[in-house]
Amino acid sequence: MPAVKGRPVVRTKAVGLRNKAWWVLRKNKSMTICQIQASICDGSEGDSTGNLRGWLNDLVKAGLFSRALIPDGKLNSNGSYEYRILKDLGAKAPVVQKSKGVIYDPNTGNTYPLQSDKAGDL
């Protein structure tokens, strides 16, 4: 659909790893990092596992996601974590602002504080 002057263009394609992950998580409600990578990665992302894990764990600390250990039945594996969306903020992905200790929501302009993790395993 061509752009019309004075009317915003609707974005139909997410750009960037975290934006793509946000779109697929909003659609599926809960996923593991491996499932997210299988859906959105093409191999050009660099350290997508570390990037997604850090971002998702920060969203857990802010109370926007929950995280549950899913055993995979293998003897030498601890399983993997499934991340479940608790608060759908809108179309734009939340942005981690570590220097300020908050998650910024570009949809509303609200911020969510990062809570310290008492268990230390995030």
Class of domain 17-113: mainly alpha
Phi, psi torsion values for 33, nearest 5 degrees: -60, -40
What are 40-70's pLDDT values in tens digits?
988 888 899 999 999 999 999 999 999 999 9
Q: pTM for the complete prediction?
A: 0.81
DSSP output for 42-109: -S-SSSHHHHHHHHHHHHHHTTSEEEEEE--S-TT---EEEEEES----SSPPEEETTTTEEE-TTT-
d(CA 36, CA 56): 11
User: What type of residue sits at position 38?
Assistant: A
Comparing 104 with 6, which gets the higher pLDDT?
Answer: 104
Nearest to 85 by CA among 26, 14, 32, 20: 26
> Does the pLDDT of residue 7 top 80, yes or no?
no
pLDDT tens by residue, 76-93: 878 899 999 999 999 999
Q: Given this model, what pLDDT does residue 92 score?
A: 94
Residues of the chain with pLDDT > 70: what percent?
84
